[in-house]
């Protein structure tokens, strides 16, 4: 395959992944924005979150396949790579993408069940809150692994360039999602959410962080100069 053709296909898919995360993040930000959820039917708000989770899953699947498939024009193996089902992979890239993909599936489940307004508080905690917590934990683990993959250190506060900023923003967004999930627990004594304001703020902040991180990814996957 010619180099320019390889880069065209690779970066086209990269843009699709970035846009998928941006659309998913925009849906989550919209769904948690007061001017939206206070004036729109609750089921429509729930559908907004569900649609966002589908875009998250599609983008995460694209990122997972990218982490598995060799993306070099010369088909050479990456340094320090390992093999899964015959494909060369970067270990941290692969595990981060896999855990993230599992997390998006959890969000598909939680947002899908949340559309049903007939659920009682016990069903909400079991069918909505638990998968939401599992998804948030998966995002937090995946974001940390991605950050280590970028910085090559267990922890480094300084981003050190665009990839570092993307990793840090995703990590911050995952923390915000985790706070939101914890605050969304329905208390059995009152049948009310523990802290609905914190739940919405956490979701909004996390979604904004993910959106900006995905937007910063777009220049990284822009077309490169063609090579002979």
CB 221 within 8 Å of CB 28: no
Could you tell me the maximum CA-CA distance found in the chain, to the nearest angstrom? 69
- Given this model, what pLDDT does residue 123 score? 80
CB 186 within 8 Å of CB 193: yes
What are the tens digits of pLDDT across the range 17-37?
999 999 999 999 999 999 998
What pLDDT band is residue 113 in, cutting at 50, 70 and 90? very high
Q: Provide CB contacts within 8 A for 221, sequence distance 6+.
A: 10, 11, 14, 15, 17, 18
- Spatial distance between the Cα atoms of 101 and 78, rounded to a whole number of angstroms: 23
- Spatial distance between the Cα atoms of 31 and 42, rounded to a whole number of angstroms: 10
- Given this model, what pLDDT does residue 74 score? 40
Count Cβ atoms below 10 Å from residue 214 Cβ, excluding itself. Answer: 24
Average pLDDT over residues 57-71: 84
- Given this model, what pLDDT does residue 221 score? 55
Let me know if 79 is exposed, middle or buried by CB neighbors in 10 A (0-12, 13-18, 19+): exposed
Q: Closest Cα to residue 52, out of 10, 115, 95?
A: 115
What are the tens digits of pLDDT across the range 135-175?
999 999 999 999 888 876 666 666 667 888 899 999 999 99
What are the tens digits of pLDDT across the range 121-135?
778 877 888 999 999
- Given this model, what pLDDT does residue 199 score? 93
Find where tokens 């979701």 sit. 203
CB 199 within 8 Å of CB 180: yes
What are the tens digits of pLDDT across the range 177-222?
999 999 998 887 777 788 989 999 999 999 999 999 999 988 655 5
Higher confidence at residue 70 or residue 5? 70
- Given this model, what pLDDT does residue 75 score? 44
What are the tens digits of pLDDT across the range 70-84?
544 344 444 455 554
Q: What is the pTM of this model?
A: 0.81
Beta bridge partners of 174: none
Q: Write down the H helix ranges in 32-129.
A: 34-37, 42-68, 91-114, 121-123
CA 84 to chain centroid = 23
**The dihedral formed by the CA atoms of 222, 224, 226 and 228, expressed in degrees to the nearest 10:** -140
What pLDDT band is residue 8 in, cutting at 50, 70 and 90? very low
């Amino acid at each position: 395959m010619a180099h320019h053709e390889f880069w065209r296909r690779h970066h086209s898919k990269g843009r699709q992944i970035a846009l998928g995360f941006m659309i998913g993040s925009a849906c989550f930000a919209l769904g948690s924005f007061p001017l939206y959820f206070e004036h729109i039917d609750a089921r429509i708000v729930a559908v907004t979150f569900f649609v966002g989770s589908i875009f998250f899953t599609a983008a995460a699947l694209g990122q997972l396949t990218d982490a598995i498939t060799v993306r070099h024009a010369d088909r050479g193996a990456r340094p320090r790579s390992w093999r899964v089902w015959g494909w060369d992979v970067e270990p941290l890239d692969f595990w981060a993408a896999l855990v993230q993909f599992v997390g998006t599936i959890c969000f598909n489940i939680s947002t899908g069940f949340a559309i049903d307004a007939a659920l009682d508080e016990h069903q909400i905690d079991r069918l909505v809150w638990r998968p939401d917590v599992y998804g948030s934990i998966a995002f937090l683990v995946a974001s940390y692994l991605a950050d280590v993959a970028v910085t090559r250190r267990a922890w480094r506060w300084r981003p050190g360039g665009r990839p570092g900023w993307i990793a840090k923003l995703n990590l911050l967004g995952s923390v915000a999602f985790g706070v939101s999930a914890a605050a969304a627990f329905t208390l059995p004594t009152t049948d009310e959410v523990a802290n609905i304001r914190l739940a919405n703020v956490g979701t909004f902040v996390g979604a904004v962080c993910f959106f900006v991180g995905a937007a910063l990814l777009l220049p990284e996957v822009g077309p490169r100069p063609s090579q002979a």
